[in-house]
Amino acid sequence: MLKFLSTEAEKEFVAGLVTKLKASLPPDSVAGAGKGATVNRITRQLEKTYETASDYQAERRLGFFRRAAFANHFKWELRNAGYSDEFIDVATEGLVMEMSKAAAKRPAAPGGGGR
């Protein structure tokens, strides 16, 4: 029922995305205490994650609803992976910004009607 509203594909993709991020940037390495990852390393890993998400969006042509669901799934997967709230907020905000930029660059669908 209402399969067009299902976000299972996005949920599965995000789970894999966060698994890759966790492998390359473990939660304890960004916690700020002790010997953790450098700012450059964190930035590089997040940029790779955002690029993968933007590629997925371009391939699937995610609309507003699915992008919002994608970001929400991303936030919860990060929380379940054990990242700090501060990191989760920064990472999710960056994801939303990158996906919004990618959506704005996307050409309009054929016959999409004018404004």
pLDDT tens digits for 88-112? 999 999 999 999 887 777 665 554 4
- Locate 88 and state its tokens: 């989760």
Q: pTM for the whole thing?
A: 0.83
Query: What single string gives the DSSP state of each residue in 15-32?
Result: HHHHHHHHHHS-GGGSSS
Identify the pLDDT of residue 27: 94
For the chain, the structural domain boundaries read: 7-24+38-105
User: What's the one-letter identity of residue 95?
Assistant: L
- Other CB atoms within 10 A of residue 101 CB: 12
